[in-house]
Structure 1
Amino acid sequence: MKYVLASAVIAAALVTGGQASAQAVGIATSNPGSIFHNIGTAVANAANQAGINATIQPATSPNQYIPFVASGGIEFGAANLQEVNYALEGKEWFTGSVNPDLRIVGHVMPLVEAIFVRADSDIRSIEDLRGQPMVDGYTAQNTILPQLDAMYATAGMTRADMQPVQVPSVVGGADAFIAGDAVGFIFAHGAGKVREADAAVGGLRALPIEETEENLATIREHWPVGFFATMEPGPNAPGVEETSTYFAYPQVIFTHAGVDEETVYQMTKAIYDSKEAMAQTFPPFNAFDPADMASDIGVSEFHPGAIRFYKEAGIWQE
C-alpha cells in the first residue's frame, strides 16, 4: 500500500509538472544513499543542464519501480541491466509479471560491488565470514540475494554458512552493520551510504575476489552479466586497501516504449555529452565511457530515440 500511494504521488507530480513544461520528466531511483539514487541524481543534473526538466523520484528498490516505469507511470529509471532483463521477460522475482514495454536508453558506469567489514576486524576474506552474523533477507530488494550467493560461492560457501541478519534493503543492511548487528554488509563502491558507514565505524575493508576464469564462471551461475573490475585505493574508494578486483555488472538508464522519441533522444544526448558534469555529482561516473552506451543489452531493446542518437554519434552497431 505504501508503494501504491507513493506511485500515485509520483504520477500526480508528473502530470502537474507536464503542464508547466513539455520536457518535464521523472527518473525513478532507489532510496537516498543507494547507488541508483546517486546515478539518477547525476543524470538528472546533466539533463537539467541540457534543458530537460528532470526530477528524481525515489522508491525502495528497482524491483518496485521497474514495473512502474514499464507501465508508463514515470519516464525513466536507473537500474542494473540484469534486473531489467528479468523484468522484461517475467523471470526470477518478476515471475508472472512480464514487462514487454521496457526499453533501454543506454549503459552508464558499471556498478562495482563488495562486502564491507570493519577495517579493524580480523575478517580479510569472504571465507572469513563463515559462521558470522551477516545481512540477509532483502525482502524489498530481491536483486541482492543472488549477488550475495555469487560472492559466497567464490569461497565455496552459501548464505546458510552465515548467521542471517534480516534486512529489507542495502540501506537497511548498512544500518544493521553500523548498529553492530552484522559483521559486514553488501554495497556498491562509491555510494554515499558506504562513506557514512566508513565514518561511523572508523574505517572499512572491502573484501576482494580473485579474478580467475573459475570465479567468473561461478558468479555468472548466479548473476549472468557479472564480470570483474579493478579498484585502486583512494579518497573515492573507502575500504579498498590495495589494488584489488571486485564483482561488477552493467548499469543502465531505461525507459518504456511509450515515451516519445524526441524526449529519449534528448536524454540520451544529455548523458552522452555530460561525463564530466555527472562525475562532479557522483565520482564513479569517471568510469563512464560514452562510446559504450550502445553496448550489448542481451534480451532487451533500445528505445528508437536512443538508436537515432547512437546512429548520429557513430556508435550504433546493428
Structure 2
Amino acid sequence: MTKMISTAAAMAGLALCIGTASAQTVGIATSNPGSLFHNIGTAVANAANEAGLNTTITPATSPNQFIPFLNSGGIEFGVANLQEVNYALTGEAWWTGNPNENLRIVAFLQPLVEGIFVRADSGITTLEQLRGQPMTDGFTAQNTILPQLDAFYSTAGMTREDMIPVSVASVTAGADAFMAGDAVGFIFAHGAGKVREADASVGGLRALGVADTSDAALAGARTHWPTAYFTTLPAGAAPGVLEDTVYIAFPQVVFTHANVSDDVVYALTRAMYEQADTMAQTFPPMAAFKPNDMRGDPGVGQFHPGALRFFEEAGLN
C-alpha cells in the first residue's frame, strides 16, 4: 500500500498547493493514442485530477516533436523515456547541437520494456530470422526509435541494414504497416494499446526478445542506447510473450519546464505518489509503478525543486 504523509502541517501544505495549482489548467504532452506514453499520460492526468488538480493531456506524434514546445514553456509536463530527455538536454544525437536546457525531471515511472513483434503463426522465433525480411524502419517523426532498433539488433550481431526497410513515421504507424501486411514485424513497448490491437488483428503475436543476454551484448546495446538494460518477462505477462523471454528495458520519466511553479510540480508529484492505485486502474501496466522508486538517478538532468520538496517530505532519498 502506498505510504501517505499525514501530519497536519503536510496536509495544510498540500491544500495550499492544490489550491494554487487548480487555479490553472496544466497540460501533459504525450505521444499519439495507442502509444505507451499516451496510456501513461492519461493515467497520470487521472491521478492528478483525482487529487484535485485540473489536468489535461495533449497528444503529439512523439516526444522529439513536443519536447521543444515544453522547453519553451508551451506546456507544463511531458512523458518520455530518460534517454531521450538526456539527449534533448545536451543537444546530442538527433538534436544536432541544439540543447533544451529548461527541462527538469519530476519523477521516475515504471520501466519501458520493448519487444519486436511478429505474427505468432509466421514461423519466426528469433531475431536472426528477420534477416532479409521487410521490417519497419525510418521513423521520420520519432527519431528515438532508430537507436533502440540498433540496440535490439546488435544483440543478434545485426544492423538495420540487414533487413529490408519499410519506412514509417512512428511506432503507431509501424504497427499499422504490420497489420496491413507491409512488414513482417514492428517494434513497440509491451503493454501499449496498439500492441493489443495488433494482437487481435492478426490472430496473435510473438514478441521476440534479445538474442544474446551476456554482459558483452548488453555493453554493445548500450553503445546505441546508453540507459538500456535487460529484463525478463514471464510467459503470458503481455500479448506476444509466449514463453519467459529477455527484453530490452529503460527508465521512463515525467518531466517539466524549469519555470513551472514549485507548487504545481509538488502537487503533481504528490498525486502520483498517493494515487498509484488510480493510475493502475486507468492503465493496468502501471501496476508496475513503485512510488518509492520515483526518485531515481536523473543522469545528466536534475529534478525540479517542487519534486525535490515532496521527495524530502516523503523520505525518498
TM-score (norm 1): 0.91
- The equivalent residue for 2:77 is 76
Aligned length: 296
Q: Distance between the aligned counterparts of 1:211 and 1:310, measured in 2?
A: 35
Secondary structure of the residue aligned to 1:86 is helix
> 1:154-191 CA deviation, whole Å, 9 max, x = no partner?
00000010000000000000000000000000000000
How many angstroms apart in 2 are the aligned matches of 1:21 and 1:41?
Answer: 18
1:218 is aligned to 2:220: yes
Contact 2:155 / 2:213 at 8 angstroms: preserved in 1?
A: no
Deviation of 1:244 (Å): 1.3
Q: CA deviation at 1:211?
A: 2.8
Counterpart residue number, 2:235: 233
With over 3 angstroms needed to count, the CA separation of the structure-2 counterparts of 1:44 and 1:222, relative to structure 1, is same
- Aligned residue in 2 for 1:191: 192
Distance 1:284 1:245 in 2: 18
Matches within 5 A, 1:83-122: 83-122=84-123
- Note the C-alpha offset of 1:266: 0.4
Displacement after TM superposition at 1:23 (Å): 3.9
SS in 2 for 1:238: coil
The one-letter code sitting in structure 2 at the alignment partner of 1:66 is I
Aligned to 1:311: 312
Aligned-pair distance for 1:292?
1.1
**Contact 1:110-1:250 within 8 A present in 2 as well:** yes
- In 2, the alpha carbon distance for the partners of 1:106 and 1:22 equals 23
1:129 maps to what in 2?
130
Whole-Å separation in 1 of the counterparts to 2:239 and 2:100 = 37
Unaligned runs of 5+ in 2: 1-20
Amino acid at match of 1:219: A
User: Which residue in 1 is equivalent to 2:12?
Assistant: none
Does the residue aligned with 2:278 lie in a helix, a strand or coil? helix
The separation in 1 between residues aligned to 2:76 and 2:152, in whole angstroms, is 33
Task: Report the Cα distance in structure 2 between the residues aligned to 1:237 and 1:305, rounded to whole angstroms.
Answer: 35
3-state secondary structure, aligned to 1:176: helix
Contact 1:230 1:243 in 2 (8 A): yes
Aligned to 2:279: 278
Spell out, residue by residue over 1:21-61, the C-alpha distance to the aligned partner (whole angstroms, 9 max, x if none). 52420000010000110110000000000001110000110
8 Å contact from structure 1 (residues 119, 203) kept in 2:
yes
* SS of residue paired to 1:120: coil
Taking structure 2 as the reference length, the TM-score comes to 0.92
DSSP-derived class of the 2:253 partner: strand
Separation (CA, whole Å) in 2 of partners of 1:201 and 1:191 = 16
SS in 1 for 2:260: coil
The DSSP-based 3-state class of the residue aligned with 2:223 is helix
Amino acid at match of 1:269: R
Residue equivalent to 1:263: 264
Matched residue SS, 2:299? coil
Q: How does 1:52-71 map to 2 (within 5 A)?
A: 52-71=53-72
Deviation sequence 1:209-255 (CA, Å, 0-9, x none): 24321221111110000011221233x60000011110000000000
Give the equivalent residue in structure 2 for 1:3.
none
Query: C-alpha distance in 2, partners of 1:74/1:309?
Result: 22
Moved more, 283-292 or 114-123: 283-292
SS class of match (1:276): helix
Report what 2:7 is aligned to: none
**Cα RMSD for the two superposed structures:** 1.1
Moved more, 294-303 or 90-99: 90-99
Contact 1:23–1:263 (CA under 8 A) maintained in structure 2: no
Letter in 1 for 2:217: N
Q: Is the 8 A contact 1:139 1:167 kept in 2?
A: yes
2:46 maps to: 45
Q: For each residue in 1:79-137, what CA deviation from the matched residue of structure 2 results, as whole angstroms up to 9, or x when unmatched?
A: 00000010011111112321111000010011000000000011101111000000000
Structure 1 consecutive aligned stretches of length 4 or more whose deviation exceeds 3 Å: none
Aligned residues with identical type, % of pairs: 68
Task: Work out the CA distance in 1 between the residues paired with 2:311 and 2:232.
Answer: 28
* C-alpha separation in 2, matches of 1:280 and 1:229: 24
Secondary structure, counterpart of 1:222 in structure 2 = coil
Paired with 1:229 and 1:247, the residues of 2 have a C-alpha distance of 6
Question: 2:228 is aligned with what amino acid?
Answer: G
